[in-house]
Amino acid sequence: MSETVGRIEPVVGAPFVGDGVTVALVPAAMRFNLRGSASDLAGFTVVPLPTRIGDVGESGGELAVMLGPDEWLLIGAVSGDGAGQPVSITEVSDRQVGFDVTGPLAAELLMSGCPLDLERMAVGRGTRTIYETVEIVVIKRAPDAFRVEVWRSFAPWLWAALAQA
């Protein structure tokens, strides 16, 4: 007997619109945790992998942020599984979801629970950090636009915390 598996998003699909800020769930996307050297992983991605921790590479709607000396979060596609290569390519699409936080008060909203000064963060940079006690990845896409990635199990809490803040 076969079963049909459906995906239920962990938060409401409609954006939260507040005074000077909007928080919206981004559409479902493929996500991968990549480990290894940039040169060994280069053949597996369309996006050029950045080589400086915190830098973001973008190409054709896909992006990669370098989180550590040998670690990237890729939001996009990979070609191959890395078998036989000194790399690790792990799909994490169902592990996490993304929020777009936009508007003139976007940085202020995120800084209400994040220890970083996101107003001083350069556009095109990303980092792993926390919002209160929850681990997030925050990417600054424009002076007033951020992409926040969070584990699916924490998404309802983070959504409510951002809406309340």
CA angle 98, 26, 5 (to 5 degrees): 85
Residue 159 lies in a domain: yes
Asked whether residue 4 is assigned to any structural domain, the reply reads no
Does residue 28 or residue 127 have the better pLDDT? 127
Structure confidence at residue 141 as a pLDDT band (50, 70, 90): very high
- Name the residue range of residue 104's domain: 18-164
Whether 132 is in a domain gets the answer yes
Q: What is the mean pLDDT of residues 93-98?
A: 94
Question: 45 lies in a domain?
Answer: yes
Domain of 83: which CATH number?
Answer: 3.30.1360.120
Q: How many domains, in total, are found in the chain?
A: 1
Percentage of residues in the chain having pLDDT higher than 70: 95
pLDDT for 81? 80
Instruction: Give domain status of residue 12, yes or no.
Output: no
Q: How far is CA 128 from CA 73, 82, 110, 164, in A?
A: 10, 24, 13, 23
Tell me what pLDDT residue 12 has.
Answer: 72
